Amino acid sequence: MRIWKLRTLLPLALVWAYAAQPASAAAAVAIAPVTIGPTLQKALQERYGVDEAQELQKAVTASLSRSLKGVGAASGETAPIRIEVSIVSATPTHPTRRQMSDNPSLDYLRSVSKGGADLRAVLRDRSLDVGQPLGRCVHRD
């Protein structure tokens, strides 16, 4: 199976969604709940604070929804095409609440670092047996 870049995978999701639905239906792609990988889970517990996980999940889901709308796909729970995203690792651009609590010398606005995230995504067709993967991607931001 080929590994795609995220910018390539989203338009492909739209094409597969159109192919999987009747001609009269609009293309729809379901976004599975974003998961947190074990490496990031450990970092959240030890350094960043576990409350940051929900914020990360919301941010990735919102970004993915905007990107899908940008390529013309609607999002729907029962769509035949499903995107499953896992956040493998992440680094904040500003100190988290836990980091500021642990180190009072940090300032949310003045303390800045180069943040980013590693994401892995799988595109699945629900109409096939056991949701066979249509594509996979790795994204580093």
Q: How confident is the model at residue 9 (pLDDT cuts 50, 70, 90)?
A: low
Please give the average per-residue pLDDT across 98-125, as a whole number: 85
Q: How confident is the model at residue 8 (pLDDT cuts 50, 70, 90)?
A: low
Q: What is the predicted pLDDT for the residue at 23?
A: 42
In DSSP notation, the chain reads -PEEPHHHHHHHHHHHHHHHS-TTSPPEEEEPPPEE-HHHHHHIIIII-TTHHHHHHHHHHHHHHHHHHHTT-EE-TT-SEEEEEEEEEEE-SS--HHHHHH-TT--TTT-----EEEEEEEEEETTSGGG-EEEEEEEE-
Q: What is the predicted pLDDT for the residue at 74?
A: 75
Which residue ranges make up each domain of the chain?
A: 3-18+27-140
